[in-house]
Amino acid sequence: MQTNGPRLTLALRKSAGLLRGYWEFPGGKQENGESLRECLVREINEELGIAIIPGTYVGVSEYKTDTIEIALHGFLVRQWTGTLELTEHDALQWLPGDALSSLPWCPADVPLVETVVNKHC
């Protein structure tokens, strides 16, 4: 088991929703006029009830089907405060990078998982 490097926060999608049972990085949709960092701070607060300070930009995962187009931007988080509350997910885990490939991931997150593991873990 990996002992160095970051532990990554993974969120399990709600059992009643689309892609239930799949893991994803927490976050959400960027609003007009909002920077990526501002979006991350707002979304993490809405989804997990905590305040964060974004750190290093990890990269982007682009996913496209006939009906949707998604660009997921990933960041490492330098610091967080508050009490975690699950509002959009059924569970959270903090895992080292070498444990990520064993989980079922939302398809849009897979390229970002690979980038995180290869560059930051």
Query: What residue spans of the chain are helical by DSSP H?
Result: 36-48, 110-120
60-86 pLDDT, tens per residue?
999 998 998 999 999 999 899 999 999
Domain limits of the chain?
7-120
Nearest CA among 27, 3, 15, 44 for reference residue 108 = 27
Backbone torsions φ then ψ of 92, nearest 5 degrees: -125, 150
pLDDT of residue 86: 92
pLDDT of residue 35: 97
87-119 pLDDT, tens per residue?
989 999 999 888 888 899 999 999 999 888 887
Q: What is the mean pLDDT of residues 24-45?
A: 96
Fold (topology level) of 7-120: Nucleoside Triphosphate Pyrophosphohydrolase (3.90.79)
pLDDT of 121 strictly over 80? no
